[in-house]
Chain A
Amino acid sequence: MDYLYDSTFDGLLTCIYYSYYEDKAKGIYPQDYYQCSLVNSSRIIVTDPILSSRVYEAIAKKISSQALKQAYYVFLSNHPRKENIILKYLQLGFKLGRKIDNLHTHLDVLPVYQTARKVSFEVHRFYGLLRFAESNNFLYASLKPDHNILIILAEHFVDRLAQNNFIIHDQKRNIAIIHDKQEWYLTDFNAPENISISEEENFYQELWIRYFTHISIESRTNKRLQNQFVPHRYRNHLVEFKKSFLTNLSS
């Protein structure tokens, strides 16, 4: 039996509930992209927050809080078969309990660690590589991350920039974190056509680029090393790479 869910974490946990108490799931797939087959029957699962919270608590209590975190990070990843990875991992987890945290190389565990690691690595990268620009009375940052990491970035930046209004916009998924000093929320978002940039903003961008070019030591130049740390796919959103690239072209 294939289970189809609505692409939310709650939906996924509801599937796991039904797989445990009713028919065992062979695989879990997002409803929107599922291709029916003649061999497997499928069942659409309606997300139930009560059932999903029971599974959520069961994972934390019967397996471990680390396992819960790993599963959630895998869910945020762009892995094409992430639902099935999580399903297998949790099935094993409910069998073994805490022990699963120590089985690093098990066939059902290793992919979880590998995928979760990619997600947390990208989160860590964007703690640093996110760039805000000031516009009127809020800060605006855009990014195109590989994984769906906005919700994790939010926690970090809400604490850090508590006194500021800001928007963090995931241009790949058209969603954004909006923070207005008191509270924040995640929402669908399309960027306004032109975000006006103030005189002051321009000055600080120039100042930052000036700093960035002067901090480098010429006799140690090592572009390969730089490329390793700042992949080209992120550079469109980075002031110091975007602008210095343009000035290089014009000169």
Chain B
Amino acid sequence: MNTMEKLAILTEGAKYDVSCSSSGVNKKNNGGLGNAKSFGICHSWSADGRCVSLLKILLTNYCIYNCSYCVNRNHNDIPRASFTAKEVADITIQFYRRNYIEGLFLSSAIEHSPNHTMEKIWQTLDILRNEYHFHGYIHVKIIPGADPRIIHKTGLLADRVSINIEQPTEQSLKLLAPQKSLQSMFTPMAEINHRITQNSEDKKKYRGIPKYVPAGQSTQMIVGASDDTDLTILKATETLYDRFNLKRVYFSAYIPVNEGPNLPALASMPPLQREHRLYQADWLLRFYNFKADEIVNTQFPRLDTDFDPKIAWALRNIHLFPLEINKASYEELLRIPGIGVKSALRIVRQRRFAPISYDNLSKFGLVLKRAKFFLTCQGRYYGGISIDTSLIRQALTPQPQPLQLTLF
């Protein structure tokens, strides 16, 4: 099999992993090839609108596991292929030089054993970093169950590592991936987190300490393969951030690739809208100081599909509004739908010099058509309707586009 065919097969196997970012670490080129920028760089966008930042690829798609949601499970009759460590390293370097990619995202199915697979991943990184002196971004999958020593030496070469927990509860994991358990994934996650913290402590004390996973850990959950509610998912997300200091939790709308008794039908559409709302909720958790039970609770276990989670929260807590733009604290401003981190900061900085008038408000970059219902400016309310949940809900609902009648 030639490189072209292998690349096609192993890309197909890797594409359902949604993690794409190349952010979180600044590195200079140290006498070799490549550097990294903490803001991350996207290099292209594929036909599904997702960005291509890293060369996302599997080392192999031969797998000993049979997880029912996975396209590479061993019961599936699909073309199989394996790359050698050197092949992957060569393609990475050649793509990188042409500025096609920002680095490598190496994942793998479990061939033979976790240790064997992890060792092969390390080998690829070893060639890239120590033979080719590559300083670009590398994200690798950690294989649960692999020897901690191999994981550790891999972490010394990678920028970001991730372990996909795939399901928010032990129950649904047992149903869909009986050979896996959450505990077996949490153990390496905790271990890596411990070492990252230790590494940053050490860096303060000594010079020339090699970096250990400088861009942190991330994980992914599949949405829609089991019947877990958004409440379960967001609670799990919050716990993951608190317990393991994860940089990101990704959500992947389940795309039916297999048939199975515990799975949605093959013809069902991926729940893209739900995935989108979960990401919005994730942003509220990470940048807007929200807690998971403010966004969803036992009374409302699912995210509203018509409104984003922040509007939904504001409508449920309408008694807190309207807020005066010239007096509300930064944290309060962040709670107003239509105001984001940047516009809130600009407002706080500018109002020290002069009160902010309503005319100036839209120049801060906030979305006035949402925000106007939840704020007052110099004491005046500009919403035009009384502050009432059902009225605001109606005003915010998008109107259907009028249709041009045809003549015939």
Residues of A at under 8 Å CB distance from B?
A: 99, 101-105, 110, 124, 127-134, 139, 141, 157, 159-164, 204, 206-208, 210-226, 228-230, 238-240
Are A131's CB and B100's CB within 8 A?
Answer: yes
Check B11 against A102 for contact (C-beta < 8 Å).
no
In the bound assembly, the distance between CA atoms of A65 and B46 in angstroms comes to 38
From A130, A160, A208, A239, contact of B34 by CB (8 A): A160
**B364 x A216 contact (CB < 8 A):** no
Contact B41 A127 (CB under 8 A): yes
Distance, CA A172 to CA B225, complexed state (A): 50
Contact B49 A225 (CB under 8 A): yes
Shortest Cβ distance from A208 into B: residue:
B100
Contacts A161-B33, A164-B97, A240-B44 given; indicate if A219 touches B12 (C-beta within 8 A): no
Residues of A within 8 A of B346 (CB): 104
A226 and B91 in contact (CB under 8 A), knowing A130-B99, A207-B7, A215-B52? no
Q: What are the residues of chain A within 8 A of B385 when measuring CB–CB? A: none
Which residues of chain A are within 8 angstroms of B94 by Cβ–Cβ distance? Answer: 204
Complex CA distance for A160 and B4, rounded to whole angstroms: 27
Cα separation A2 to B32 with both chains bound (whole Å): 51
B360: chain A residues at CB < 8 Å are 105
Say yes or no: B350 contacts A105, CB within 8 Å: yes
For B67-110 the 0/1 string (1 means CB < 8 A from A) is: 00000000000000000000000010011011110100000000
Contacts of A240 in B (CB 8 A): 44
Within 8 A of A (CB), among B12-71: 12, 14-16, 28-29, 31-35, 37, 39, 41-53, 55-56
Q: Are A163 and B33 in contact (CB under 8 A)?
A: yes
What are some 24 contacts across the A-B interface (CB < 8 A)? A99-B353, A102-B353, A105-B360, A127-B41, A128-B42, A128-B53, A129-B44, A131-B98, A139-B97, A157-B99, A159-B29, A159-B35, A160-B35, A162-B33, A212-B52, A216-B46, A217-B48, A219-B255, A220-B49, A220-B253, A220-B272, A221-B47, A226-B49, A230-B44
| Contact present for B29 and A132 (CB under 8 Å) | no
Given the complex of chains A and B, what is the CA–CA distance between A137 and B391 in angstroms?
A: 67
Contacts of B45 in A (CB 8 A): 225-226, 229-230
Query: Which residue in chain A gives the minimum CB-CB distance to B53?
Result: A128
Cross-interface CB contact of A229 among B51, B56, B97, B349, cutoff 8 Å: B51
Known: A104-B363, A128-B43, A133-B98. A214 touches B49 (CB 8 A): no
Chain A residue contacts of B43, Cβ below 8 A: 128-129
Q: Cβ of B29: which chain A residues have Cβ within 8 Å of it?
A: 159-160, 162
Question: When the two chains form their complex, are residues B12 and A214 in contact, meaning their CB atoms are under 8 A apart?
Answer: yes
CB contacts (< 8 Å) of A204 on chain B: these are: 94-95, 98
For the complex, is B352 an interface residue (Cβ under 8 Å from A)? Answer: yes
Query: A160's closest neighbor in chain B, by CB?
Result: B35
State the Cβ distance, B171 to closest chain A Cβ, in Å.
Answer: 27
- A sample of 16 more A-B contacts (CB under 8 A), given A99-B353, A129-B43, A215-B14, is A101-B349, A104-B363, A128-B43, A128-B44, A131-B100, A132-B99, A134-B98, A162-B31, A211-B11, A213-B47, A215-B56, A216-B46, A217-B48, A220-B253, A222-B48, A229-B45
